[in-house]
Amino acid sequence: MVTLKIPGELYDRLGELIANTGFRSVTEFATYVLRDVAAGGKLDRKPPGLTEREVEAIRQRLRALGYIE
């Protein structure tokens, strides 16, 4: 395991975003998103508690913020 530093504001926003989903932590969510990005957006696993529409909305927001291409 390694430490990945992100702005505190982003961490807090991600915490709000995953509230009441199947993700247990921001770390778990960030790991899922990064694996998805590394796989070219083609992970077979569906994130717990999120619809495909919600996943796409998250991807679009991360692109708009410059976190993914």
Structural domains in the chain (count): 1
Q: Tell me which residue range forms the domain holding 18.
A: 8-64
pLDDT value of residue 12: 94
pLDDT value of residue 8: 94
pLDDT value of residue 59: 82
pLDDT value of residue 45: 61
Does 1 fall in a domain? Answer: no
pLDDT value of residue 48: 65
pLDDT value of residue 27: 93
Q: How far is CA 63 from the centre of its chain?
A: 11
How many other C-beta atoms can be found within 10 angstroms of the C-beta atom of residue 51? 10
In sequence order, which residues have a C-beta less than 8 Å from that of residue 67 and are 6 or more positions away? none
Q: Is this structure's pTM higher than 0.75?
A: no
Residues in the chain where the model's pLDDT stays below 50: none
